Structure 1
Amino acid sequence: MKNIIKRYFKPAAILSVLLITVISSCKKDEYYNDGGKANPVFNGNIMQYLESNDKFDTIAQIVKLAGMEDVFKNEKITFFAPTDEVIRQTIGLVNTDIADLSGRLNQYLYSSGRDTIQKLSDIQPQIWRKFLSRYIYKGVHKLKDYPQIDFGLRELYPGSFYYTYDGEVSNIGVVYNSVNGVSYVGYRQLALSYLFDPSDPSNITTAAVASSDIQPSNGVVHVLAVTIREKIGDVPTDLNANFFGFSLEFWNDVALSR
């Protein structure tokens, strides 16, 4: 809880408090979240981090179904983590007596006469791996390790291209947000754009990072935001980022396998 400076404090005392606050806020290499300092280090590997957080219960199951548990436990990786909400929006609810048809995949399967997804293991492991790998990168990369990107001035600040774990291509960069119309003076925010066709860099789906630089023992986790509007900060987001794999390609692959 924030301290409240009572109105009867002497001006000198108030000035002292303000100076301490300013000096503290200027310290480099600190981790802040919503204005409050937080510890980015997790005492365990990335798999243990996912299993310990109820936002990633389903994602942790998918890692196991994809046969990538060892990667998340032992390899040095950077994981742009979608939350369980992404799976719900992609498929609908599972592990219920009657599959929820609000997800586009289950609605499509039902309308085309195919069996809906009742449990995550109904989907083939190779499909889980194909789309999960789009969020994984070899090596450890914090926000400070990525170049600047300006989506309105990409010829000057283009971010950079990176290979996903299984060799597909994404663009990753740090957006320097504007404040009151002044460019690049605001907070810094990671943006991940998946490229569907490397020969056409404009054919992308972009997701904003909600929390960056979470540090388990074997890598870094950047948590992706669920997109509810066209922009998050200065990041122009795409509603397709709410679907697992950044598009409806996932449910097309599942439907063909049913």
Structure 2
Amino acid sequence: MKNIIKRYFKPAAILSILLAMVITSCKKDEYYNDGGKANPVFNGNIMQYLESNPKFDTIAQIVKLAGMEDVFKNENITFFAPTDEVIRRTIGLVNTPIPELRGGLNQILFNSGRDTLKTLSDVQPAIWRKFLGRYIYKGSYRLKDYPQIDFGLRELFPGSYYYTYDNDIANIGVVYNSVNGVKYVGYRQLTISYLWDPSNPNNFSTVAVASSDIQPSNGVVHVLAIGMGDPIGEAPNEFSANIFGFNVDFFNDVLFSR
């Protein structure tokens, strides 16, 4: 029998057969499912993308309240999109036991004796418009279009400064993460840092991008991560990511308007 096997099945052939059997067996496993590469292209404009995704129901309403629906439908823009969770945490609840909703805008209004917000339309359209503009940039820019930033070595890799849709200033850059102690060979992480005071470029709030390069028909969407104060890889992701507008300016404007 051994001689027959050796005659008709040489060692290399036997190895090939075994390998084919293993591969075939893997394909039959119910848990094995190769989803392939994610498709970044969305068949519709940015407004339609926001309306189609449950994470952006509230953001889509704010776009309409701000009177910017036409911008999101027809203009060529890049949108660093905060999720609905950012709005939920920004507005917050009064005397809530939920830690992440403590200290929101409604608590501030309540403590100051002003009416709290019941609906999004309780905020003046001009205020929504002002702070929504901080997330919008004219033109289409994907991750590959932004320069490298190293927050520990900014003199060499500073990212670059960009004007928002309404001419505020932010620094945008790509963090090149390390792998096994080797710098800059790991995955790329897009970040945006809003400058509170353009005269002091070292005073900024940094937010990491959770999903980049989503491509509707009229631009690019980068989805921002929720901030817990902990970095994502080597990219800072500060707690200001939870505040609409990146800092307390939104609180102040709403407070003084009521």
Q: Considering the TM-score relative to the shorter chain, is it more than 0.5?
A: yes
Secondary structure of 1:221 counterpart? strand
The residue identity in structure 1 corresponding to 2:56 is: F
Report the count of equivalent residues: 228
Instruction: Tell me the distance in 1 between the aligned counterparts of 2:181 and 2:22.
Output: 29
Contact 2:207 2:225 in 1 (8 A): yes
Superposition deviation, residue 238 in structure 1: 1.3
Q: Which residue of 1 aligns with 2:128?
A: 128
The residue identity in structure 1 corresponding to 2:219 is: G
Extract unaligned runs of 5+ from structure 1. 1-7, 18-34, 95-100
**Higher mean C-alpha deviation, range 123-132 or range 84-93:** 84-93
The residue identity in structure 2 corresponding to 1:209 is: V
- Aligned positions of 1:147-162 closer than 5 A: 147-162=147-162
Q: Label 1:154 to 1:162 Cα distance change in 2 as closer, same or farther (>3 A).
A: same
Instruction: Tell me the distance in 1 between the aligned counterparts of 2:127 and 2:221.
Output: 22
Identity across aligned pairs (percent)?
74
Q: Which residue of 2 aligns with 1:43?
A: 43
The residue identity in structure 1 corresponding to 2:119 is: K
Q: Label 1:58 to 1:93 Cα distance change in 2 as closer, same or farther (>3 A).
A: farther
Structure having the higher helix fraction is 2
Instruction: Tell me the distance in 2 between the aligned counterparts of 1:240 and 1:13.
Output: 53
Instruction: Tell me the distance in 2 between the aligned counterparts of 1:236 and 1:11.
Output: 49
Secondary structure of 2:72 counterpart? helix
Instruction: Tell me the distance in 1 between the aligned counterparts of 2:17 and 2:229.
Output: 45
Q: Which residue of 2 aligns with 1:167?
A: 167
User: Is the radius of gyration larger for structure 1 or structure 2?
Assistant: 2
The residue identity in structure 2 corresponding to 1:56 is: F
Q: Which residue of 2 aligns with 1:29?
A: none
Cα distance per residue 1:25-83 (max 9 Å; x no partner): xxxxxxxxxx9521100000000000000000000000000000000000000000000
Q: Which residue of 1 aligns with 2:80?
A: 80
Contact 2:194 2:204 in 1 (8 A): yes
Q: Which residue of 1 aligns with 2:234?
A: 234
Q: Label 1:12 to 1:218 Cα distance change in 2 as closer, same or farther (>3 A).
A: same
TM-score, normalised via structure 1 length: 0.83
Q: Which residue of 2 aligns with 1:207?
A: 207
- Aligned positions of 1:174-253 closer than 5 A: 174-253=174-253
Instruction: Tell me the distance in 2 between the aligned counterparts of 1:60 and 1:149.
Output: 31
Q: Label 1:202 to 1:11 Cα distance change in 2 as closer, same or farther (>3 A).
A: farther
Instruction: Tell me the distance in 2 between the aligned counterparts of 1:254 and 1:52.
Output: 29
Contact 1:88 1:103 in 2 (8 A): no
Instruction: Tell me the distance in 2 between the aligned counterparts of 1:10 and 1:186.
Output: 37
**Higher mean C-alpha deviation, range 54-63 or range 8-17:** 8-17
Q: Which residue of 2 aligns with 1:108?
A: 108
Extract unaligned runs of 5+ from structure 2. 1-14, 25-34, 95-100
Secondary structure of 1:232 counterpart? coil
Q: Which residue of 2 aligns with 1:146?
A: 146
Instruction: Tell me the distance in 1 between the aligned counterparts of 2:166 and 2:256.
Output: 22
Superposition deviation, residue 14 in structure 1: 9.5
- How large is the Cα RMSD of the aligned pairs? 2.2
Instruction: Tell me the distance in 2 between the aligned counterparts of 1:186 and 1:228.
Output: 23
Cα distance per residue 1:130-166 (max 9 Å; x no partner): 1000000000000000000000011110000000000
Q: Label 1:15 to 1:252 Cα distance change in 2 as closer, same or farther (>3 A).
A: same
Secondary structure of 2:173 counterpart? strand
Superposition deviation, residue 12 in structure 1: 4.7
Contact 2:162 2:169 in 1 (8 A): yes
The residue identity in structure 1 corresponding to 2:159 is: G
Instruction: Tell me the distance in 1 between the aligned counterparts of 2:110 and 2:144.
Output: 45
Superposition deviation, residue 181 in structure 1: 1.6
Q: Which residue of 1 aligns with 2:4?
A: none
Superposition deviation, residue 185 in structure 1: 1.0
